Structure 1
């Protein structure tokens, strides 16, 4: 075989239900996002991949790159089981800008990624993240107890050490933390037991109030706010550690999100797997990138999620409506199948307000919930932001206080009111394809 390989059929990315601004692999099966990182002006997106199948199969790491987080180019296979020993399951990666690993051998900083099951294996790139070499012939550098997988490495500037968080089921769901000064030799530090902490864990340092807090995040979007002391995680959460946590998203179309490493200015951008859509040569896609920020709310500090502002570069024609009243009726609009919708909606006299966009997105004014997620109006009004992309739907409420992601076939939007709804403004932007 030849490494790296490019085993993809020709395509114009115009298959019937392929997203036009959500990344999907040119061909084959895609699931979890792996090791997203930024290096020398290029965003690298790796992902769980079965290039020769439309269903889950022997895992490779697929690879795509972008210079703007919006337009993506398919690259050759990054990790191949015929070349790289071990189970090439989900994991994270870092850019070793200080050569802490001692692996640097040219102009490029080492890019190091971590994978494996029941122990962590290391692979490193010396050509900017295009091809990788196994470290120490696939030696496992971290060996948690029980069943384990999904290592994610992070930098702690206070202790000036690297940390890795790994899911492990020893004694029940939870995560193991280990630390390192060189990214290769790791020492067990602590365990955090929590029923909700299942698969693809992530520990993210995020700015707020002139300082930083640490967000422990699980594959299903559950998270807690807390602090990291260099060896252990302490949470602000005072309830039981059950599956009832706050979440970075609701809905069924988002899993195993990771943030891009090495971004400037404390920016936290996350992508995840949307898995229910498929075509004739591909299965699954990535979520549209969202930016995480911390905000004070009546319920405490929460993570807000908003689509990255680079989305605006895709806008084409725009329609705007103002002072639109709907009372116990349906208002139909024209938008196509790839568009962005923004609305400011007064719900003080409404029982429910719905947006039918392939799926019915319902705000219940009595329950103050958007599709079941708690969302309080601000001065009686909701700010809604929807991304409709053929089979992909993203819904944001009140500047990211709620984020919902679904796989749902697109349709022309319908506005449905039970009671009286006043729409102050509603804007629809047609979005051009990232593939053209």
Structure 2
């Protein structure tokens, strides 16, 4: 039995009602419902005997856990990480009834396909679960599939160890018959590839990322990915490793509005009945800067539906003897553990010193003005001298966004309460909004 109120159980972040979870798998949207499949061991608090867990949502925020989608006692092969798509064109020829086929791809040392004809709730092995694509190398896993509109073909990327780390590319007209066309090799590239078309300055380009959130931007001609990048960038300032606070992020397929929305695995949160949670969904976009294109990440706009109260501050001059926000929390108020804070500072006339948001005992977010560092990571103010900062705080999770999404840090933290803003120098606060948030579990408290 769970009421989703256990210590460290995120009130904004999905976690399984019981058991172990890790990588997101086959994220997709279908007829008004978002499907979040994930690596799951329902019988233990540690990794073992992988199933595909399943949760659904109509708004990407409130999640309802469903029966497991893939079960190793029913579905053949190793049901490790993979991807999923909605075959709205019925290229597979599998449609039988009202629903479009939904296909998911998984397997190690060879890719297997399972398909659903009931809207993603139950799955049948395709052709008895035979391997439909054989990657190169001794080890391979984590297939991800997208639709490539220019060639009207499906494209699959699969991690393997052939000639070092990298991904094999496959193409298919029907999701059932696959041709291996090329390989991208990079020492840094490990596991859980995500391959995403994204708009950059009005043109479509392609982002290839691995499990740690390292990524490169390049071109794809329908058969081969090429990039001029010699080294990757990272989605978060604290990338990897597996079971860390951010790993194996995957983008949703068939989004109705064209957004690129991703969720990742946060492995350091746990309780007496569950291990692991998902990161809060973020919308990502490519932005051109002098050093080249970069991914910016910000919480999806649907977070507004969780707001239960908001307090705003206008332009305010802070001094070293000022403490702001301390009266916003009663330390006994557990509901105050979850909030969304947005702040803008004008640093034009400030060259020295620092300011800190004290969130709870031992959890601080500090910007060093002279060093231009946020929690020790480089971060410059905008050319006009302003710095935007956003903190998404939950019982066991913290996401830090800054510079309009250029900075993203995803963390697991200990449960607790409190909030204060202090500074050791004169500081101009342009604006601040504090949004107290409702729990995503209000309608999902179930036994099981």
Which TM bucket (shorter chain)?
Answer: over 0.9
User: 1:118 and 1:22 mapped to 2: Cα distance?
Assistant: 32
2:152 paired with 1:160 = yes
Matches within 5 A, 1:124-143: 124-143=115-134
User: 2:377 and 2:104 mapped to 1: Cα distance?
Assistant: 35
User: 1:415 and 1:40 mapped to 2: Cα distance?
Assistant: 44
2:169 paired with 1:177 = yes
- Structural RMSD (CA): 1.5
User: 1:298 and 1:211 mapped to 2: Cα distance?
Assistant: 18
> 1:296 Cα shift?
1.2
Please state whether the residue corresponding to 2:303 is helix, strand or coil: helix
> 1:338 Cα shift?
0.7
**TM value normalised by structure 1:** 0.94
2:365 paired with 1:374 = no
Q: Which of 413, 416, 420 is matched with 2:422 structurally? A: 416
> 1:361 Cα shift?
1.9
Moved more, 357-366 or 402-411: 357-366
Q: Which of 305, 314, 319 is matched with 2:311 structurally? A: 319
1:40 matched residue in structure 2: 31
Aligned residues: 422
* Kept in 1: contact 2:351–2:370 (CA 8 A): no
User: 2:353 and 2:20 mapped to 1: Cα distance?
Assistant: 43
After superposition, give the CA deviation of every residue in 1:68-113 in whole Å (9 maximum; x if it has no partner).
1111111001000000011100000000111111111111111000
User: 1:342 and 1:206 mapped to 2: Cα distance?
Assistant: 27
> 1:211 Cα shift?
1.9
After superposition, give the CA deviation of every residue in 1:277-312 in whole Å (9 maximum; x if it has no partner).
111111111111000111111221111101000000
Q: Which of 77, 81, 87 is matched with 1:96 structurally? A: 87
Q: Which of 181, 184, 188 is matched with 2:180 structurally? A: 188
* Kept in 2: contact 1:349–1:419 (CA 8 A): no
Distance 1:178 1:329, change over 3 A: farther
Please state whether the residue corresponding to 1:284 is helix, strand or coil: strand
Please state whether the residue corresponding to 2:297 is helix, strand or coil: strand
After superposition, give the CA deviation of every residue in 1:104-155 in whole Å (9 maximum; x if it has no partner).
1111111000001111111111110000011122211111122111100011
Distance 1:13 1:311, change over 3 A: same
User: 1:87 and 1:31 mapped to 2: Cα distance?
Assistant: 15
Q: Which of 383, 386, 391 is matched with 2:391 structurally? A: 386
* Kept in 2: contact 1:373–1:402 (CA 8 A): no
User: 2:375 and 2:405 mapped to 1: Cα distance?
Assistant: 14
> 1:349 Cα shift?
3.4
User: 2:196 and 2:156 mapped to 1: Cα distance?
Assistant: 11
2:346 matched residue in structure 1: 346
2:2 matched residue in structure 1: 11
User: 1:364 and 1:176 mapped to 2: Cα distance?
Assistant: 43
**TM value normalised by structure 2:** 0.91
Gaps of 5+ in 1: 1-9
Distance 1:282 1:47, change over 3 A: same
1:356 matched residue in structure 2: 358
